[in-house]
Amino acid sequence: MGTETVQNAATGKSLVVGPVVLLGPPGAGKGTQAQRITDYFGIPQISTGDILRDHIRRGTELGLAAKAQMERGELVGDQIVCGMVADRLKQPDCTLGFILDGFPRTVKQAQWLDRHLVQLRYFETEKGCLKQPIVIQLTVEYNDLLRRLTGRRTCPTCGRIYNAYTSQKPLVDNVCDVDGSALVTRKDDCEEVIKERLKNYEDQTLPLAGYYSLRKRLIEIDGSGADVDAITSAVREAIERGDCL
Ligand code: AMP
C-alpha cells in the first residue's frame, strides 16, 4: 500500500507521521507523552502494556498466559507480544502512523518490527523507500523513576495517567479530572516489582538504544524535568523533524 499525505487536524500540515517508537525505562513518561502526541498528530497510541492488561481484565487465553509474568515484573514472551502488535497494526487507523509505547523491549522485538514494517508497506515514499521509525528515548534518573512509579495512578475508565507526587496530580485526590472515576494503582507499581522491572529494563531493553543508535535512528530527550509540556514540545519537534526522512 502506498502512502497518501493527509491534512493534520492540529497543525494544518500535510504529513504521514509513520512509525514512532517511544523508548525509556518504566516511569520515564512514555505513556503520558504518547497520549499527548496521539492527540496532536491524530495517530493511535499502541501500548503493549495496556493491551496485555486489557486481555487480563477480559480473562482471555493470552491474558492468562501473560498474567503471572506481568505480576512478577518480567517480560512476556516475544512471540505473544509480537503477535499482538501484528494484529493491532492491521487496523486501518495505523496506515498513516502510530506510536509504539512499551514496544519493542528486546533486540529481537526490534528486529521483528523492522521486518514487519517492510511487509506492511504502509510507509513507502514515492521513491519506493521505507520511512524508518523515529525512535525517541526518554531518559530519567533511577531515583526519579522510583518516585514516579510509586506515585503513579491511572484512570480505569479513560486510561489517563496521573501522579500523586508530581505536577501531574489530579485536581481532586484520586479522582479522574475527565470522567470522575476513582483512580487505581497498577499491581506492578509496588516497590518490589518496580525494582525487578527496572532491572529487566537495564538487562533487556537498554541494549535497544545501541541497536537504533547504530542505525542512526535514536533521538534522546531528557524526560526528567517536572515540566511535562516542555518534554512534549521536544518530543513533538523531534517527530516533526523526522517527518522529512
Ligand atoms: P508497561 O505498561 O509498558 O509498563 O508494561 C507492563 C508489563 O507488561 C511489563 O512489565 C511486561 O511484563 C509486559 N510487557 C509490556 N510490553 C511488553 C513487551 N514489549 N515485551 C514483553 N513484555 C511486555
Per-residue model confidence as pLDDT tens digits over 39-59: 889 899 999 999 999 999 999
pLDDT classification of 244: cutoffs 50, 70, 90: very low
Which atom of ligand 1 is nearest to 70's Cα? 12
Mean pLDDT of 127-151: 88
Task: State the distance from the centre of ligand 1 to the C-alpha of 73, rounded, in angstroms.
Answer: 8
Pocket probe for ligand 1: among 48, 85, 205, the residue whose CB has the most ligand atoms within 8 Å is 48
Per-residue model confidence as pLDDT tens digits over 1-33: 434 444 455 455 446 888 999 999 999 999 999
Cα–Cα distance, 97 to 237 (Å, whole number): 16
Cα–Cα distance, 34 to 242 (Å, whole number): 16
Q: Strands 97-101 and 18-23, how do they pair?
A: parallel
CA-closest residue to ligand 1 atom 1: 49
pLDDT classification of 166: cutoffs 50, 70, 90: confident
Which atom of ligand 1 is nearest to 101's Cα? 3
In this model, does residue 242 exceed pLDDT 60?
yes
**pLDDT of the residue at 121:** 80
Per-residue model confidence as pLDDT tens digits over 205-233: 999 999 999 999 999 999 998 788 999 99
CA-closest residue to ligand 1 atom 6: 49
Number of residues that make up the chain: 245
Task: State the distance from the centre of ligand 1 to the C-alpha of 46, rounded, in angstroms.
Answer: 12
Scanning the structure block, which residue is given the C-alpha cell 495512578? 153
Q: What is the mean pLDDT of the chain?
A: 89
In this model, does residue 186 exceed pLDDT 80?
yes
Cα–Cα distance, 149 to 189 (Å, whole number): 6
pLDDT classification of 72: cutoffs 50, 70, 90: very high
**pLDDT of the residue at 128:** 67
pLDDT classification of 132: cutoffs 50, 70, 90: confident
Task: State the distance from the centre of ligand 1 to the C-alpha of 3, rounded, in angstroms.
Answer: 30
Of all residues in the chain, what percent carry a pLDDT higher than 90? 71
